[in-house]
Every structure is written in C-alpha cells, then in structure tokens.
Structure 1
Amino acid sequence: MELTFSLDDLPAAASFILANAQHRILLFDAEMGVGKTTLIRELVFQLGGGRVGGSPTFSIVNEYEIANGAAAYHFDLYRLKSEAEALDFGIEEYFYSGSYCFIEWPDKTPNLIPNSNTLISIELLENGDRKLQIRN
C-alpha cells in the first residue's frame, strides 16, 4: 500500500497507517530528517495519547499512555551500538507486551525485531511531499 502526502496531510497519513497496519510493531525506515518522529507523534495522538514531545534519541524509548490506559512505546535506536545494549534495557519485553511499538532505526536490532511487524518506508520527494509505503 502506498500514499503520497504533504506535511499538511500528516493526520491523514497517520490514519492511513492505523487503518492498514496489521501489526502493533511498526518499523519506520527513512533517512534522517524525513519526518519519522513527527509522524509517530501524530500516531500517538490519534491513539488517544494527546500531543507528545520529541524523539527518544537520548532515552532510547518513550512510553505514552493512550486510550483506555493502554501504553504505546516509541523507540529511537539510532544511538545503539549493539543488540546486546537493547537486550540490557529489556527491549524484548516491550516488543512482546501487545502494545504499539513505533521503532525508528530498526536496522540497529535486526535479530530482535519480531517477525510479525509492519514496515513503514518513507521517502522524501523533490517537491517536499513524502511517499509512504506499508508492508505487513
């Protein structure tokens, strides 16, 4: 599934993801600066989490309360040096919690990512729009 959107269409892009993602583990594949964090903030908002802050670059994971008291987790794995570092903070517990897990830079932990996941690829187009592809 594919969608082209502008930053003004961010709510529609998030709705498209939530309607078409078949898993709660969502992997975000995009270059730095394309808008992964901004899109994830909109996803959390649409799940009932209110407006949230920035990327968990330094904390690695942020937890958000969403509708009905459930949790959603936002991971920024960019700074990880090894999969062992991810295991040390209990990444697998998050992945198998049944909660939404939004993961930036999933290529840092390829052997730890559950097979049941949805890959969200985002490409910046020349006109400033984004092309989003969903693979379940």
Structure 2
Amino acid sequence: SVSDQVSSPTFGIVNHYENQQGDLFYHFDFYRLDDPSEALDIGIEEYFYSGNYCWLEWAEKIAAFLPEKFFLIRISTDSETKRTLNLQHIKDAS
C-alpha cells in the first residue's frame, strides 16, 4: 500500500509515490495532453520500462506509445450509486 495521499496530477502529467517498502509507483493523467508526442518529452518510455508500476488516466490519448502488455481497467457509470469495473489483460496493443 502507498502511504502518501494520492491525488490526480492536475498540473503535471506525472506524480511519483513510494510505498512503505520503498517501491516507486507512477501516476499519469493525460487528460490535458494536447499532442501525444508530449508524453515522449517527459520520458514516458523510461517510466514504462522502469520495472515500476505505472497507473494511467486517459491512456487512450497516448495509445501509440503504450507497451505491448498492460492491464486495462474500465469504470462505467451505471447509475448514481452503481459502477461496473471491466478488467482486461492486453497482451498486444497493436
């Protein structure tokens, strides 16, 4: 578990978190990304292949840069009080 308070990286694209064991986690929010190549400017590939967990919001904005293997979590709003989670392991993003 992460002991830091988790928040959406509103102004920056990425936030770093560390759990009690010293493991790093990266949280990306690509909502405000205008051009997918901006993700390359922050070194997205280095984060993805660092061996650390990367959590992405609005990942469809950088679809061309996603790794071949990832775990997709979709949250659908069914009503004001009900949500549906769809979990899918993607083995080839192409």
TM-score in same-fold range (> 0.5): yes
- More strand per residue: 2
Determine the C-alpha separation between the residues in 2 that align with 1:100 and 1:76: 14
Give the TM-score normalised by structure 1: 0.62
Equivalent position SS for 2:63 = coil
Equivalent position SS for 2:25 = strand
Q: Percent identity?
A: 46
Does 1 or 2 have the higher relative contact order (CA < 8 Å, sep 6+)? Answer: 1
Aligned match of 1:129: 82
Q: Which runs of 5+ in 2 are unaligned?
A: 90-94
Say if 1:57 and 1:77, in contact at 8 Å, map to a contact too.
no
1:58 to 1, 8, 11: 11
Equivalent position SS for 1:109 = helix
Aligned match of 2:92: none
Q: What's the CA shift for 1:81?
A: 1.1
Aligned match of 1:109: 62
Q: Which runs of 4+ in 1 moved over 3 A?
A: none
Equivalent position SS for 1:120 = strand
Q: What's the CA shift for 1:51?
A: 4.4
Aligned match of 1:14: none
Q: Which runs of 5+ in 1 are unaligned?
A: 1-47
Determine the C-alpha separation between the residues in 1 that align with 2:86 and 2:58: 16
AA aligned to 1:131 is T
Q: What's the CA shift for 1:92?
A: 0.8
Give the TM-score normalised by structure 2: 0.88
- More helix per residue: 1
